[in-house]
Structure 1
Amino acid sequence: MSFTMALSFLLLMGGDGIITDQSAWKEQAICDEGILPKGPIFVHFIRNDALYVDPTNVKSWKEIPELSKTEMAGTDFRVSKPWTPYYDESKPELVILNLGTHIHSTRFFKVLLDEALSFLSQRRAMAVAMGRRPPRILWRTTAPGHPECWKHQEPIMEGKEGASPLYEGVYRDRYTWHLIKDMNTYMETRVKEVLGENDGPTVMRLHDIVKERADGHLQGDLGDCLHYHLPGPPDWWTRVFLEVLRELV
């Protein structure tokens, strides 16, 4: 779950939305009976761009000799906070995971994804062996950025989301947004292979919801054409999430 999606969910649950820490935080919201069964919901957000399973193994691309600088340009995973200790110690009921936006190599993406899935599969087997119900796991697909988003005041035409020439220039070389679709496809296939869907859905397909939404990005002085404003497109991700939650509760 991205920071904006987590914030959108809290706002929908009646929270005040005053959260500036984009690395790790815990919040409680009281669910309205009209949305989900009434009662408290505890949300723990953890940013870990690479989903490193080993919390001591958080490296920048400069420390990974088998990967070239080109593959990892712009990425430094020191911003990542450990998530596996929380998984083991807090025993959450539902875990939402996402990987891809800050991974600039499909080869590295597959390694990281498979490591995370191996961890989850092992922990699920351990929980079942101990007679406990393992947490539900949801993977969300990665949403794309949109080159020159400041030029758009409304959604772009379907099929035109990759039409900008900048997809072949700096946006391709630095941000590698053209890899996201293939990463999402690999993720969905592997998640279903490893985790299955016997207990309900394990993948939330959010990519297609915003692939034409070049409007609504933060933009600003940094020209942020990846992240979105709130209210905005992430609120639709939250609505999809609520429908999935209704299936799970």
Structure 2
Amino acid sequence: MTGYPYTALSPLQRRRRQWYWLFAVAVILLFFSAATYSDALPDLPTLSTFSRLRYCRNDEIAEGSWVPAPVDGRTWARLKVSAGYTCHDNRHALMCFTSEPSELPRLAAANSWRWQPRDCQLHSFDAAAFVRRLSRNTRQGKKGSGILFVGDSLQLQHSQSFECLMGDHIERDFLSDYEVGNFSLEDGAGQIGFVRTDYLLQPEGWKLLMPDEEEPADIGRFVRKWTHMVEDKEFVVVNTGAHWGDHAPPTLARYERMTKEIISFIDRYPHITLIVRSSVPGHNDCSRYSAPLIHDDPEMHNSYNWQGFDLYNDIWRKTLEQHPKHIFLDVGATRLRPDGHRMPDKDCLHYCLPGPVDWWNRLLYHVIMGL
């Protein structure tokens, strides 16, 4: 009978075959175990885990959760380093600690969280990279550098947080607690300015003061002219909402006219991108909270005119749909942050710095770096 000759396996070959069989059995057992107990093993790596390497689109950054990210809060100096703050201490912006050192544990707790969008990731904040990005037009000989922040006291916090995060790269000056200020970044990244104007328009007549118009001598402290400061900027970041009072139909109609007037003005400058930061309401009884919420509760935001904030945001979204060059910066993640407010139960709208407001700048960084 013809056929293939039988050849006995050597001892080494037999051991190799045994190992192959053991490996195959182990893989099969692992597969069935994972299929059976996947609900009990939520931390096993999955394809969705690796999909988070994709950077978030702008419309995805507000969906997610706050995850623990402990900081070193043993001393104020250590906390500042952990938070990435390199600004000086002698300022109202940092009053939560500098005016009351006993607040350090609460401040450390409020900074021990990071925002994680769902199924995507943010660009990691890098102050040096931000300087390089903001100086790009200067290097290329194009018009426009720096950022102008315009809005109310929450926008002042936004700009002061930006200053503290960029402190190592400031060439000169600093923001005060007054209504108008600016500082210069190094390497041609331009000036960072702030103008306090609670409505963006003048409430007398609800009109925008143009660059060539004189600011009235009796102008209010918190409705300053800002249009003359935009021409040399690349980005103008605005917000208004907290001072608009009720959200009755006449108010909403006036608010909508304001959004269109602001965009019409900015569009005179093709090199400028308008970034509208969303309005985020405060939280009732905020002293009760020492950590972020898992889910938002609209009933927590029913004091003052906070319930109107979502309506104002919707108006901006609708207006910006017709102007895709400009951007809606959704910082709704802080709706889940009843902790970290500046004066619990006395001021449950503003936040301590460093604190949740810093994430407005991390999200701003993500949006700008993605352009």
TM-score of the aligned structures, taking structure 2 as reference length: 0.49
1:96 is the counterpart of 2:228: no
Q: 3-state DSSP class of the match of 1:163?
A: helix
Aligned to 1:84: 227
Deviation digits for residues 45-94 of structure 1 (CA, Å, limit 9, x no counterpart): 01111111433799xxxxxxxxxxxxxxxxx965211112323xx43221
Aligned to 2:314: 185
Deviation digits for residues 10-58 of structure 1 (CA, Å, limit 9, x no counterpart): 222125896442411111133xxxxxxx653310101111111433799
Residue type of the partner of 2:159? A
State the identity %.
24
Deviation digits for residues 117-165 of structure 1 (CA, Å, limit 9, x no counterpart): 22432552x44xxxxx3311111101111111122111134133x334x
Q: Cα offset for 1:224?
A: 0.8
Aligned to 1:139: 276
Residue type of the partner of 1:10? E
* Structure 1 residues 123 and 140, CA gap change in structure 2 (3 angstroms): closer
Residue type of the partner of 1:179? G
Q: Distance in 2 between matches of 1:189 and 1:57?
A: 31
**Residues 3, 22 of structure 1: 8 Å contact kept:** no
**Residues 179, 221 of structure 2: 8 Å contact kept:** no
* Equivalent residue runs for 1:117-128 within 5 Å: 117-122=260-265, 124=267, 126-127=268-269
* Equivalent residue runs for 1:80-229 within 5 Å: 80-87=223-230, 90-106=231-247, 107-122=250-265, 124=267, 126-127=268-269, 133-160=270-297, 162-164=298-300, 167=302, 171=303, 175-193=304-322, 196-197=323-324, 199=325, 202-206=327-331, 208-219=332-343, 223-229=346-352
Q: Distance in 1 between matches of 2:296 and 2:287?
A: 19
Q: Distance in 2 between matches of 1:83 and 1:191?
A: 21
Q: 3-state DSSP class of the match of 2:184?
A: strand
Residue type of the partner of 1:223? K
CA RMSD of aligned residues (A): 2.8
Gap runs ≥5 in structure 1 = 31-37, 59-75, 128-132
Count of aligned positions: 202
**Residues 92, 135 of structure 1: 8 Å contact kept:** yes
Gap runs ≥5 in structure 2 = 1-148, 150-154, 202-206
Residue type of the partner of 2:225? P
* Structure 1 residues 123 and 203, CA gap change in structure 2 (3 angstroms): closer
Q: Cα offset for 1:247?
A: 2.5
Match of 2:208 among 54, 58, 83: 54
Residue type of the partner of 2:157? T
Whose radius of gyration is greater, 1 or 2?
2
**Residues 144, 180 of structure 1: 8 Å contact kept:** yes
TM-score of the aligned structures, taking structure 1 as reference length: 0.71
- Structure 1's consecutive aligned runs of 4 or more residues displaced over 6 angstroms after TM superposition are none
**Residues 190, 233 of structure 2: 8 Å contact kept:** no
Q: Distance in 1 between matches of 2:348 and 2:157?
A: 14
